[in-house]
Amino acid sequence: MRFLLMGVVLLVATGLILPYFLDVDHYRTLIAAVIEAETGRKVTIGRIRARLLPSVGFVVEDFRLSNPPGFPDGHLLTVEAIRGQLALVPLLRRDLRLYALELVRPKLVLLEDDRGQTNSFVQAGAGLPSGKRTKAAAATPGKPIHLSDIERIDLTDAEVTLARIAGHDRPPVPSLHVRKLSLRLDHLTLDPLEIKKWQGDARLAGVVLELAGWKGPIELRSGSFTLREGRIESEFRAILGKAGEFNGSLRVANLEHAVPTFELRTAQFDVEQLLAGLTTAGPAAPRPRTGHSEQVAQGRLAAERLHWSSFTANNAAAEARWFGDRVELWPVMVEFYGGSLQISARADRTTVPERFSANLQVRNVDVGKLLSTSPATRGKLTGTGELTLQLFGAMSPEWQKSLSGSGNFAIRDGHLPGVTLTGTLESVAKATGLGGETPFNMIQGDLSVAGRRISSRQIHLDAPRLTADLHGSCGLDGSLDYEGQTVVTPAAGGAGSGQPNPVDAIAGILGGVLKRNVSRVTVPFSIRGTLHEPKIQPGRGLPTIEQPASAGQPSQAQPKKETSPIDLFRRRP
């Protein structure tokens, strides 16, 4: 037993020491020539050391594989170290047969140009002069080494970057950067026609993704990846910054015609944090518009609850489609404060920054509940609301500045809060019924979005014995700037129903002073301040009082006679 242990120790020592006395660095030219002949790329290889334990092989330091002709200067692949394993039996016959590789901290940069061509696959030897191809063949007498003979490739702590070539005078612009990826590939071939032979497995826990246009990294907490017979299957759990945590799946049915399908599910998602995470686009040039846009991915998004500022929506679902020149959502369906919210959206990828358009439809929403979510709007309005709105803007942190659009809204069967006007118009304001809670049948109007403000040319309110019309705008910061007038019509013959009503009371007072009946009172007003503290003030001009037509004359032929409060104090004949 002692001799056996001594033999094992001697064998291990030999395996550790002997490689330092074996000069295998002279194979550097041979290995580089083989790789260049197989890939059509220029290759740079650092020092090569032999290795006998745990298996016969070698270690290559600082490996670099360049981009093919027609692409910018740079490297498709750089590797800190490559550990190769050689088949032992063929090696005894002086036949170098490479069957396994481990790439330590490799960096793979996949480029796509404006023609849709990539730097990943080229015909063998296409990028080499004929002299070098002949030299590579001569350097491998007998049976040459082929990369297609490699049974397994392990990528340890890899980085993968997807980038687009914006132009000949611009550097590539990354769209996706993956870090901390460890992946095992079996039966790998450089022939794209035999891609279904590939096999791959990876654990995704700890993998980090960086997306163009997004500030923070996306961290994968768990997950797996498998590649079999040209199909990809993946399940994962990801953290999208402060926006939310997702459970997801990814499927690719056929790598030869790869259109990934995915599903992302989350219990809580913060839209405001998503928008806050957007970054201003880099110096990329717009993608050229082409007559044909191929679909590159599609999937389903689902969230049990969405948050945006103080607003909350439930059971959101959407279908998403990615194309070469655009991204589409058709449609987003959300349960929204007793009603529904539907959004159809599109982002144009041919512009920098990307621009979006969205169509919003809100139906049967409880306006009181909606506004109660914010102290600034709580108790300001009740009713059942509808909204149709089309929006345009840029996907950047300053999206509010770019926002524009138009639409219309309606609120039915609600109430307005009490307001107070001061000064000489206070008594007239009370006559409108605005001193208490005012019921209304309908509020409707148009909307126009531009310059960080929501404007309306006309908003009309229809209430029992009261109408109002106004125009103006509300800022996205909550500032108010409206002008309008309200028209009050008292009941015929005074109180009428016997119920106390301020409209009838003031009409009786004015009628007594004028010695005649009052048909209606028109009061101009303005709304300033903010949504949190609105200030309703006298508008331009003075209130007017209209008298009914004289008895015995058709009302349509009788001209209206308007009286202002100043006329009350003038001497009458």
The answer for 51, left when phi > 0, alpha when psi is -120 to 50, beta otherwise, is: beta
Is residue 178, in this structure, part of any structural domain at all? yes
- Token pair of 54 as six digits: 């745990």
**What pLDDT was estimated at residue 511?**
55
Is residue 313, in this structure, part of any structural domain at all? no
**What pLDDT was estimated at residue 259?**
78
Flag whether the pTM goes above 0.85. no
Residue corresponding to tokens 């979006």: 356
Q: What angle do CA 447, 479, 425 make, to 5 degrees?
A: 95
Interatomic CA distance for residues 214 and 496, integer angstroms: 66
**What pLDDT was estimated at residue 548?**
65
**What pLDDT was estimated at residue 32?**
79
Sorted by sequence, the CB contacts under 8 Å of residue 131 that are 6+ apart come out as none
Q: How many domains, in total, are found in the chain?
A: 2
Is residue 41, in this structure, part of any structural domain at all? yes
Domain boundary among 203, 224, 250: 203
β-strands 152-164, 98-112: how paired?
parallel
DSSP string, 38-60: HHSS-EE---EEEE-SSSSEEEE
**What pLDDT was estimated at residue 558?**
44
Is residue 478, in this structure, part of any structural domain at all? yes
Is residue 89, in this structure, part of any structural domain at all? yes
β-strands 520-529, 480-488: how paired?
antiparallel
Domain containing residue 46: 13-203
Is residue 208, in this structure, part of any structural domain at all? no
Is residue 267, in this structure, part of any structural domain at all? no
Sorted by sequence, the CB contacts under 8 Å of residue 241 that are 6+ apart come out as 214, 215, 216, 217, 218, 273, 277
- Token pair of 230 as six digits: 């040209």
**What pLDDT was estimated at residue 18?**
41
Domain boundary among 164, 180, 203: 203
Which residues of the chain carry a pLDDT beneath 50? Answer: 1-22, 122-144, 281-292, 419-434, 493-501, 551-553, 555-566, 568-573
Domain boundary among 161, 179, 203: 203
**What pLDDT was estimated at residue 384?**
97
Q: What angle do CA 149, 155, 156 make, to 5 degrees?
A: 145
Is residue 389, in this structure, part of any structural domain at all? no
